[in-house]
Structure 1
Amino acid sequence: MSTDLPGEPDAPLRFRDDVTVELVKHSASDSDVLWAARVSTAGEQSLEELSKDPERSKGLLNYLMRDRHGSPFEHNSMTFFISAPIFVFREFMRHRAGWCLAGDTEVTLDSGSGDPRPLPIGELHRRWHHGPAAGGATEARDRQTLDSQVRCYDEDTLLAGRTPIVDVLESGVKPLLRITTAAGRTLRCSADHALLTPDGWRKAGELAAGDAVLAGDTTGRAAAALPDPIASVAGDGEEMTYDLSVAGPWHNFLAGGIIVHNSYNEESGRYRELQPVFYVPGQDRKLVQEGRPGKYVFVDGTPEQHKGVVAAMEESYTQSYAAYQEMLAAGVAREVARATLPVGLFSSMYATCNARSLMHFLGLRTQHELARVPSFPQREIEMVGEKMEAAWAELMPLTHAAFNANGRVAP
């Protein structure tokens, strides 16, 4: 539900008590799990699973889920458009789809001056989150980095472009693959990271020598992407990994000279004026927390409490957005003015995941009577999770049923 509050005719404030989740594209079915699992015993003949009825293999799906053989559940992809309050996204960003790059992976920064600069993503993370180093050329260099964009590619024409960085993320210690191409390019990434190929997006772990990836020019020429055959794919240990979130419409960037995907793309308050849509709790939102930490529960508030909460939020939102507009009108940069806006502001993003990462998300961010391990999610992120789960259950009904039958514990 949303309501408008009287205000400026060109930008009335809107208040919502719901969230939006839409499945915008996917390559996900129960058969994807089965052919990936059977490759261990059938080799390339496992691809025959794609033409068979997955119902005949429900027992295998249940076995994989029960005994937590997780990797077969990663060979699929779902992209969701999500509109929700910023505080929901701050929880969401803790869940990575496994799309990760080694810290020494060079990202191609492109300021538009015709002189792109490679920078290791680990160093980019340091500069992004800790700010410019103090003094001299180092400080100037770091500030230039924060103002840069990254080279990306139009996935239809394969022509080079630039896109703003939204965030630089530390994704934890992960096992890595080393992909080396015929032209000498090297990319160290997780097996689940998506790379652009002449046949579309494919996970790194699905690629082998003889396959090709689409590679870009890291010089100033910004030429169209071209295929580069893979010479070798090998395991490369474990270490801290990173990822980028970049602005749309193309959700990719150049890493190690190869076009890679990122798993989250959120609208950026640095590059567009944020719209006045804010969250208020609905009538069914439990408002009162009772009990001590670790043993608390939420209970319904009184009608008076709900009325007071909504009134206080709407007043605060109105004042903060008015201050934001005043700063913009005075010529203050969007990235500075946005600091006055609260986390109840709605944002939007694309989130890409596979079935395994989605099950991890649902196990923590939803409550369910079949769950073997109890979870205590905030209601607003649970609303997102419930809608994502409904879409996934239609795509992969047998996998979803096995997830429920085995206590909703991700494999």
Structure 2
Amino acid sequence: MTPSQQSKLFVRFNVEFKSSVDVTLIQSMGSDAMLASAAWVSTSAQQGLRRAVENPDDVRGVINYLIKHRHGTPFEHSAMTFCVKAPIFVWREWHRHRIGFSYNEESARYKQLDPVFYIPARDRPMVKVDGWKPGRPKFLTLDQSMALVTDMEHFGDIAEAAADQKYDEIVSDMKQGYKDEYARYERQLSRQLDPGLARDCLPVGIYSSCWVTCNPRSLMSFLSLRVGSEEATFRSYPLHEIELGALACEEMFKQGWPITHAAFVLNGRVAP
């Protein structure tokens, strides 16, 4: 295949570069009342739902008690299914959450992955701080980093311009690498190679879609690790991109189970 033919093979697809993790709620089941009712089964199996309807204040009280004292099983009696579009390097971390989670991901063994690739947003913290530690990774934005090495009096014109240049260099390298590797991927597919083998050259920055189903208990465990909240009893330092997905899931959780979410936050974001 000539270089011209290889180029034509690649440009059949519109390459897309994104800085987001996209989360859509497919379906949900249950409510705060359902979770409270599951707890009341212990003493009144037939009356739980009626009590939840007739005494909404009881729902708030029992949910807060359950989370505070870490009685977790009632929070397994609801569910939500998300469709998440994220780079593969995010899935490598997300799939580590196994208890209470179910996954179905698109397969590059059976389909050609779309040329959609991740690039960091301009304001993403990405420069290591002095004394950086793997256990507690902290980063500066490009602007913050350049401000440390540039005369602060001239930050607006010197440091910002330097940060812009550095960002352009980072993104340019990433885009070129993505294009080169996707072209190589397509050349392998054109040779009728097993798609499961042809994909081996693809970078982890390519996007993949997955259905994720979990219950509130498992989601709270996920959020406790993947959202770096200063309100948390046990502070975590998640990867920026998985935190984007976690925050989107948390907002949908908050809308569907507002009492449970409030109790989760009130009690230091510790999963029951």
TM over 0.5: yes
Report the Cα distance in structure 2 between the residues aligned to 1:96 and 1:70, rounded to whole angstroms.
Answer: 16
Contact 1:16 1:279 in 2 (8 A): yes
Paired position in structure 2 for 1:279: 118
How do 1:298-337 and structure 2 match up within 5 A?
298-301=139-142, 302-337=163-198
Paired position in structure 1 for 2:3: none
Question: Quick check: 1:363 aligned with 2:203?
Answer: no
Q: Identify, as 1 or 2, the structure richer in helix.
A: 2
Residue 28 of structure 1 deviates from its aligned partner by: 2.5
Paired position in structure 1 for 2:71: 69
Paired position in structure 1 for 2:22: 20
Letter in 2 for 1:10: R
Paired position in structure 2 for 1:393: 254
Report the Cα distance in structure 2 between the residues aligned to 1:89 and 1:327, rounded to whole angstroms.
Answer: 24
Q: Unpaired runs of 5+ in structure 2?
A: 1-7, 143-162
Residues 14 and 53 of structure 1: is their aligned pair in 2 closer, same or farther, counting only changes over 3 Å? farther
Residues 295 and 83 of structure 1: is their aligned pair in 2 closer, same or farther, counting only changes over 3 Å? closer
How do 1:158-169 and structure 2 match up within 5 A?
none
Letter in 2 for 1:267: E
Residue 54 of structure 1 deviates from its aligned partner by: 3.3
Q: Report the aligned-residue RMSD.
A: 1.7
Contact 1:7 1:13 in 2 (8 A): no
Work out which of the residue numbers 102, 107, 110 in structure 2 matches 1:268.
107
Residues 92 and 356 of structure 1: is their aligned pair in 2 closer, same or farther, counting only changes over 3 Å? same
Paired position in structure 2 for 1:226: none
Contact 1:29 1:76 in 2 (8 A): yes
Q: Deviation per CA, 1:116-160: give whole Å up to 9, x if none.
A: xxxxxxxxxxxxxxxxxxxxxxxxxxxxxxxxxxxxxxxxxxxxx
Residues 53 and 22 of structure 1: is their aligned pair in 2 closer, same or farther, counting only changes over 3 Å? farther
Determine helix, strand or coil for the equivalent of 2:139. strand
How do 1:191-270 and structure 2 match up within 5 A?
263-270=102-109
Residue 367 of structure 1 deviates from its aligned partner by: 1.3
Report the Cα distance in structure 1 between the residues aligned to 2:9 and 2:241, rounded to whole angstroms.
Answer: 27
Contact 1:30 1:54 in 2 (8 A): no
Letter in 1 for 2:261: H
Q: Deviation per CA, 1:248-297: give whole Å up to 9, x if none.
A: xxxxxxxxxxxxxxx10000000001110000000111110122323542
Residues 280 and 59 of structure 1: is their aligned pair in 2 closer, same or farther, counting only changes over 3 Å? same
Q: Unpaired runs of 5+ in structure 1?
A: 1-5, 100-262
Paired position in structure 2 for 1:32: 34
1 or 2 for the larger relative contact order (CA 8 Å, sep ≥6)?
2
> How does the TM-score come out when normalised to structure 2?
0.85
Q: Identify, as 1 or 2, the structure richer in strand.
A: 1
Report the Cα distance in structure 1 between the residues aligned to 2:54 and 2:167, rounded to whole angstroms.
Answer: 54
Report the Cα distance in structure 2 between the residues aligned to 1:393 and 1:7, rounded to whole angstroms.
Answer: 46
Q: Deviation per CA, 1:93-119: give whole Å up to 9, x if none.
A: 0102436xxxxxxxxxxxxxxxxxxxx
Residues 292 and 19 of structure 1: is their aligned pair in 2 closer, same or farther, counting only changes over 3 Å? closer
Q: How many residues align?
A: 243
Contact 2:232 2:270 in 1 (8 A): yes
Report the Cα distance in structure 2 between the residues aligned to 1:382 and 1:338, rounded to whole angstroms.
Answer: 27
Question: Quick check: 1:57 aligned with 2:49?
Answer: no
Contact 1:36 1:46 in 2 (8 A): yes
Question: Quick check: 1:350 aligned with 2:211?
Answer: yes
Identity of aligned residues (%): 43
